[in-house]
A and B are shown apart, each in its own frame.
Chain A
Amino acid sequence: MKLKFEVSPDDFSLVGKASSELKRVLSRLGIDAELVRRASIAMYEAEMNMVIHAGGGVAEADIERDRVVMTLSDTGPGISDIPLAMTEGWSTAPDRYRELGFGAGMGLPNIRRNCDEFDIQSEVGKGTRLRMTIKLGVGGGPA
């Protein structure tokens, strides 16, 4: 099963709709609650990053028998130093997002912590592609 969402930067209140929908679908498929939670957190952090740093983009989720693969692609400014961006507490988010509860520099590390596989490809001036995999394991997959 494939899900695809346009992540718009225009309305902050809508950020996370893709994550909520993904959570609803995974829960309905009978997937283990802890795995659903991990997938939802990763997707939400990635959505938020895309809105804060890249002006939105596209979020996709591919739900397979043994895994959920989430891919987020944007055409934003890209990340010049990925290891630095992966450091907890390091952030370039504008202050207005901190006032809204985000931009604390926990996003990428938190995504990596919640995923079984994590890959980030980024080119300055062209954009970023994030691929996150949650393995569903024995008995964890869709019923």
Chain B
Amino acid sequence: MTVGRIVEILEAKVATGEEHMGVEVQAACGADLMSDVMAFVKDKVVLLTGLVNPQAIRTADLLDIRVVVFVRGKSPTADLVAMARENGMVLLSTKYTMFLACGRLYEAGLHGGGIREIV
């Protein structure tokens, strides 16, 4: 699924990264705890989160996650946008809740969880 398609499905606003709408993603992860993102995410997922602080961007960057979606209508602040731009990332904002945003992407065919095996 392309980033552009994600923007359509989530009726999202693009805060930065307009030039990356053609980038393909295979998996997504929804989490507010960055500890869990770091512990479980294995692939280059789209990260959906309600956490709007520099550590969300930092976590994504360290994990090579290039697309972050802020859910529940939250918008990234200017410093987060600048940080993301510097790292070549896409930041999106959607009015949908975490559950509905994840559900809409899953329904549209984005089925990969991108995490390590949990035993």
Give residues in A with beta carbon < 8 Å to B. 12-13, 15-16, 19-20, 23, 33, 37, 40-41, 44-45, 88, 98, 100-107, 109-110, 113
> Is the pair A101, B35 in contact by a Cβ cutoff of 8 Å?
yes
Within the complex, what minimum Cβ distance (angstroms) separates A14 from chain B? 8
Task: Pick the contact of A104: B35, B53, B55, B58 (CB < 8 A).
Answer: B35
Contacts of B64 in A (CB 8 A): 33, 37
List 28 A–B pairs whose Cβ atoms lie within 8 Å, in order of A's numbering: A12-B53, A12-B55, A13-B53, A13-B79, A16-B54, A16-B55, A19-B62, A20-B61, A23-B61, A23-B62, A40-B62, A41-B62, A44-B62, A45-B35, A101-B34, A101-B35, A101-B55, A101-B56, A102-B33, A102-B34, A102-B35, A104-B33, A104-B35, A104-B36, A104-B39, A106-B36, A110-B35, A110-B38
> Is the pair A101, B39 in contact by a Cβ cutoff of 8 Å?
no
B110 at the interface (CB under 8 A from A): no
Give residues in B with beta carbon < 8 Å to A. 32-36, 38-39, 51, 53-56, 58-59, 61-64, 79
> Is the pair B62, A101 in contact by a Cβ cutoff of 8 Å?
no
Closest B residue, CB atoms, query A109: B39
Interface of B is mostly: helix
Contacts of B34 in A (CB 8 A): 101-102
CA separation between A20 and B61, bound complex, in Å?
Answer: 8
CA separation between A26 and B35, bound complex, in Å?
Answer: 23
Contacts of A101 in B (CB 8 A): 32-35, 51, 53, 55-56, 59
Contacts of A98 in B (CB 8 A): 33
Within the complex, what minimum Cβ distance (angstroms) separates B38 from chain A? 5
> Is the pair B55, A100 in contact by a Cβ cutoff of 8 Å?
yes
> Is the pair B53, A45 in contact by a Cβ cutoff of 8 Å?
no
Closest A residue, CB atoms, query B35: A104
Closest B residue, CB atoms, query A13: B54
Extra pairs beyond A12-B54, A15-B55 (10, CB < 8 Å): A13-B54, A16-B58, A19-B58, A19-B62, A37-B62, A100-B55, A101-B35, A104-B35, A105-B35, A106-B38
CA separation between A20 and B63, bound complex, in Å?
Answer: 11
Contacts of A100 in B (CB 8 A): 51, 53, 55
